[in-house]
Structure 1
Amino acid sequence: MKLQNQDIKIGKTIDELVEGETFSLSETIKNREILLYLGLTNDDNPLYSQYDYIKELGLTKPVVPTALIFGIITSTINKHLPGPGSHVVNVNLNLIEKIFRNDLLSFNFEIIKIDTNKDLVTINIEIMRDEERVADAIVLVQPPLEEFVVSE
């Protein structure tokens, strides 16, 4: 059945996407986000919050939890490319350098493969801090389906 509630917005379906399509955004992960993550997960890794431990390692700022980078990636996919209704089915995230609290990061998304037989899109993500690549990821995404039932 076709979408019945026109107030529900879905992103681009697999037929609307194009290889080479891009989306970019910049994010700064601040203390608030790290504290929320630590509170929600009960993660007590001193690398994220203990300044004495951080200084012993020769670092000047806490490291950003990997889960927060993953969260920015998945929320961007779910909001923008392909958009609402998307389902992330696989993520390969490679952290090249440590990412620190208050770093300004640029996330550059690019669709590199569309598989209409499997209804999957492969998205390459490059994460930059200034001119330095600090992480990258390959994500498999099932774009929103054209037809589905909206329960009321």
Structure 2
Amino acid sequence: MLGKRRALGKELKDISIGDSYSETKKMGDRDLLLYLGLSNDANPLYLQHDYASLTDYKKPIVPSVMLFGMISSIVSMHLPGPGSHITQHEMTFPNPVYHNMNVQFLIKVIAIDHHNQRVAMSVSGTDQEGNEVVKGKLYVCPACKPNTLTAQSLENFF
């Protein structure tokens, strides 16, 4: 990342109610294994077909925190974008996501709180069969462009 200049995302003044971003992501085995290795999560429900076949799910599922990680990535990279930070989240996961499924995520600005310098965003996700797999709300502090002499000397970092 050093040497590469990355533009900051939207500042609060540039965000409007109704702004939205949608992206479809595949829940590939590679991503799942990377997540499980990084988190040291050995839940058999996520990996073991023999165990999962004995549950109501019938086959291994994707961890809900991995779905949230993909939502966090959308916020950090697209809306509001680089420099933003999720400060609170409320999520439900009404249906499981199975390995190698596509999930379409949609985030949408539903409120702007100028006093606290944050936006509220709705989140939804549906699988390739149209089932709702995630629903929730996020509170996000958008990017803030530094306005100091020091910030100019650090311009390669934002």
Alignment TM-score, normalising by the size of structure 1: 0.90
The whole-number CA distance in structure 1 between the counterparts of 2:79 and 2:58 is: 35
Q: Which residue of 1 aligns with 2:144?
A: 145
Cα contact 2:57–2:96 (8 A) shared by 1: no
Which residue among 14, 18, 25 is the counterpart of 1:20?
Answer: 18
Identity between Structure 1 and Structure 2 (%): 31
Check 1:146–1:27 CA distance in 2 against 1; reply closer, same or farther (3 A cut): same
Task: Quote the offset at 1:147 in angstroms.
Answer: 2.5
Q: How does 1:54-73 map to 2 (within 5 A)?
A: 54-73=52-71
Task: Quote the offset at 1:20 in angstroms.
Answer: 0.6
- Structure 1 unaligned blocks of 5 or more: 1-5
Alignment coverage as a number of residue pairs:
148
Task: Quote the offset at 1:131 in angstroms.
Answer: 2.0
**C-alpha RMSD of matched pairs (Å):** 1.8
Task: Quote the offset at 1:111 in angstroms.
Answer: 0.3
Q: How does 1:1-150 map to 2 (within 5 A)?
A: 7-129=5-127, 130-148=129-147, 149=151
Check 1:15–1:39 CA distance in 2 against 1; reply closer, same or farther (3 A cut): same
Letter in 1 for 2:119: V
Q: Which residue of 2 aligns with 1:3?
A: none
The whole-number CA distance in structure 2 between the counterparts of 1:65 and 1:101 is: 10
Letter in 2 for 1:109: I
Alignment TM-score, normalising by the size of structure 2: 0.87
The whole-number CA distance in structure 1 between the counterparts of 2:137 and 2:152 is: 31
Task: Quote the offset at 1:23 in angstroms.
Answer: 0.5
Check 1:139–1:60 CA distance in 2 against 1; reply closer, same or farther (3 A cut): same
The whole-number CA distance in structure 1 between the counterparts of 2:117 and 2:17 is: 14
Task: Quote the offset at 1:64 in angstroms.
Answer: 0.3
- Structure 2 unaligned blocks of 5 or more: none
Could you report, residue by residue, the CA deviation over 1:18-68 in whole angstroms, capped at 9, with x for unpaired residues?
001111000111111111111111111000001110111154431101121
